[in-house]
Protein backbone atom coordinates (compact mmCIF):
# COMPACT_ATOMS: atom_id res chain seq x y z
CA UNK A 1 0.00 0.00 0.00
CA UNK A 2 1.23 3.46 -0.84
CA UNK A 3 0.12 6.83 0.49
CA UNK A 4 1.25 9.98 -1.29
CA UNK A 5 0.93 12.76 1.28
CA UNK A 6 0.59 16.39 0.33
CA UNK A 7 0.34 19.10 2.97
CA UNK A 8 -2.28 21.49 1.66
CA UNK A 9 -3.77 24.89 2.41
CA UNK A 10 -6.97 23.55 0.89
CA UNK A 11 -8.10 20.76 -1.42
CA UNK A 12 -11.25 19.42 -3.02
CA UNK A 13 -12.28 16.54 -5.22
CA UNK A 14 -15.16 16.57 -7.68
CA UNK A 15 -17.00 13.90 -9.67
CA UNK A 16 -19.05 14.98 -12.69
CA UNK A 17 -18.83 18.62 -11.58
CA UNK A 18 -20.08 17.94 -8.02
CA UNK A 19 -17.75 18.37 -5.03
CA UNK A 20 -17.67 15.08 -3.12
CA UNK A 21 -14.89 15.94 -0.64
CA UNK A 22 -13.29 19.18 0.50
CA UNK A 23 -10.92 20.32 3.24
CA UNK A 24 -9.19 23.45 4.41
CA UNK A 25 -5.63 23.21 5.79
CA UNK A 26 -4.48 19.66 6.33
CA UNK A 27 -3.35 16.59 4.47
CA UNK A 28 -4.35 15.23 1.09
CA UNK A 29 -3.64 11.50 0.79
CA UNK A 30 -3.62 9.67 -2.52
CA UNK A 31 -3.93 5.96 -1.66
CA UNK A 32 -2.73 3.09 -3.84
CA UNK A 33 -3.65 -0.51 -2.97
CA UNK A 34 -1.47 -3.46 -4.01
CA UNK A 35 -2.44 -7.13 -4.39
CA UNK A 36 -0.57 -8.16 -1.24
CA UNK A 37 -2.22 -5.55 1.02
CA UNK A 38 -4.44 -6.47 3.97
CA UNK A 39 -6.68 -4.61 6.45
CA UNK A 40 -3.87 -4.71 9.02
CA UNK A 41 -1.48 -3.08 6.54
CA UNK A 42 -4.09 -0.37 5.90
CA UNK A 43 -4.48 0.30 9.63
CA UNK A 44 -0.73 0.53 10.21
CA UNK A 45 -0.31 2.88 7.26
CA UNK A 46 -3.12 5.12 8.49
CA UNK A 47 -1.52 5.35 11.94
CA UNK A 48 1.71 6.42 10.26
CA UNK A 49 -0.16 9.00 8.14
CA UNK A 50 -1.83 10.47 11.23
CA UNK A 51 1.45 10.65 13.15
CA UNK A 52 3.87 11.62 10.36
CA UNK A 53 5.49 14.87 11.48
CA UNK A 54 5.13 17.27 8.55
CA UNK A 55 3.39 20.24 10.17
CA UNK A 56 5.31 23.17 11.67
CA UNK A 57 5.66 23.59 15.41
CA UNK A 58 6.05 26.97 17.17
CA UNK A 59 9.66 27.13 15.98
CA UNK A 60 8.72 26.55 12.34
CA UNK A 61 10.15 23.02 12.21
CA UNK A 62 8.25 20.06 10.77
CA UNK A 63 7.64 18.44 14.13
CA UNK A 64 3.86 17.90 14.41
CA UNK A 65 1.60 15.22 13.01
CA UNK A 66 -1.98 15.48 11.83
CA UNK A 67 -3.21 14.12 15.18
CA UNK A 68 -1.56 16.98 17.06
CA UNK A 69 -2.72 19.73 14.73
CA UNK A 70 -6.26 18.35 14.32
CA UNK A 71 -6.05 19.53 10.70
CA UNK A 72 -8.28 17.93 8.06
CA UNK A 73 -7.65 14.78 6.05
CA UNK A 74 -8.80 14.16 2.46
CA UNK A 75 -8.36 10.58 1.18
CA UNK A 76 -8.51 9.80 -2.55
CA UNK A 77 -8.02 6.39 -4.16
CA UNK A 78 -5.35 6.36 -6.87
CA UNK A 79 -4.51 2.97 -8.33
CA UNK A 80 -1.78 4.47 -10.52
CA UNK A 81 0.44 4.66 -7.42
CA UNK A 82 0.76 0.88 -7.76
CA UNK A 83 2.15 1.16 -11.28
CA UNK A 84 5.40 -0.53 -12.22
CA UNK A 85 7.47 2.15 -13.95
CA UNK A 86 11.00 0.76 -13.96
CA UNK A 87 10.80 -0.81 -17.46
CA UNK A 88 9.73 0.59 -20.78
CA UNK A 89 7.62 3.61 -21.54
CA UNK A 90 4.24 2.35 -20.40
CA UNK A 91 3.21 1.69 -16.79
CA UNK A 92 2.27 -1.84 -15.78
CA UNK A 93 -0.39 -2.61 -13.20
CA UNK A 94 0.21 -6.27 -12.37
CA UNK A 95 0.99 -5.39 -8.73
CA UNK A 96 -2.18 -3.33 -8.23
CA UNK A 97 -5.10 -4.87 -6.38
CA UNK A 98 -8.10 -5.94 -8.42
CA UNK A 99 -10.92 -3.36 -8.22
CA UNK A 100 -13.05 -5.33 -5.71
CA UNK A 101 -10.16 -5.81 -3.29
CA UNK A 102 -8.92 -2.27 -3.89
CA UNK A 103 -12.32 -0.82 -3.01
CA UNK A 104 -12.63 -2.99 0.11
CA UNK A 105 -9.23 -1.89 1.42
CA UNK A 106 -9.78 1.74 0.44
CA UNK A 107 -13.08 1.70 2.35
CA UNK A 108 -11.39 -0.02 5.30
CA UNK A 109 -8.69 2.70 5.34
CA UNK A 110 -11.38 5.39 5.11
CA UNK A 111 -13.55 3.87 7.88
CA UNK A 112 -10.52 3.45 10.11
CA UNK A 113 -9.62 7.10 9.44
CA UNK A 114 -13.13 8.21 10.40
CA UNK A 115 -12.79 6.33 13.71
CA UNK A 116 -9.35 7.77 14.45
CA UNK A 117 -9.53 11.38 13.25
CA UNK A 118 -12.26 14.02 13.62
CA UNK A 119 -12.05 15.70 10.19
CA UNK A 120 -12.06 13.27 7.26
CA UNK A 121 -13.30 13.76 3.69
CA UNK A 122 -12.94 11.44 0.72
CA UNK A 123 -13.12 10.98 -3.01
CA UNK A 124 -15.18 8.32 -4.76
CA UNK A 125 -13.51 4.99 -5.49
CA UNK A 126 -13.26 4.14 -9.19
CA UNK A 127 -14.66 7.47 -10.38
CA UNK A 128 -13.05 9.89 -12.79
CA UNK A 129 -12.18 12.58 -10.25
CA UNK A 130 -10.90 16.11 -10.62
CA UNK A 131 -8.67 17.17 -7.74
CA UNK A 132 -7.84 20.77 -6.91
CA UNK A 133 -5.24 21.57 -4.27
CA UNK A 134 -2.93 24.21 -2.96
CA UNK A 135 0.21 22.37 -1.87
CA UNK A 136 1.59 24.09 1.24
CA UNK A 137 5.37 24.25 1.03
CA UNK A 138 5.35 22.39 -1.29
CA UNK A 139 5.49 19.40 1.04
CA UNK A 140 5.00 15.93 -0.47
CA UNK A 141 6.02 12.50 0.87
CA UNK A 142 5.49 8.94 -0.31
CA UNK A 143 4.85 6.38 2.44
CA UNK A 144 4.95 2.69 1.59
CA UNK A 145 3.83 -0.20 3.74
CA UNK A 146 6.66 -2.54 2.69
CB 105 within 8 A of CB 1: yes
Q: Is 33 exposed, middle or buried (0-12, 13-18, 19+ CB in 10 A)?
A: buried
Dist. CA 59–CA 3, nearest whole Å: 27
Element counts in the chain: helices (H) and strands (E): 3, 8
Task: Give catalytic residue positions.
Answer: 80
Amino acid sequence: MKALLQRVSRAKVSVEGKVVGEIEAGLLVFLGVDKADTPLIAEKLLQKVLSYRIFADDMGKMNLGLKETQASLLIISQFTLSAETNKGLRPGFSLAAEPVKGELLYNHFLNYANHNHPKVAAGQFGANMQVELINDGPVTFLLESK
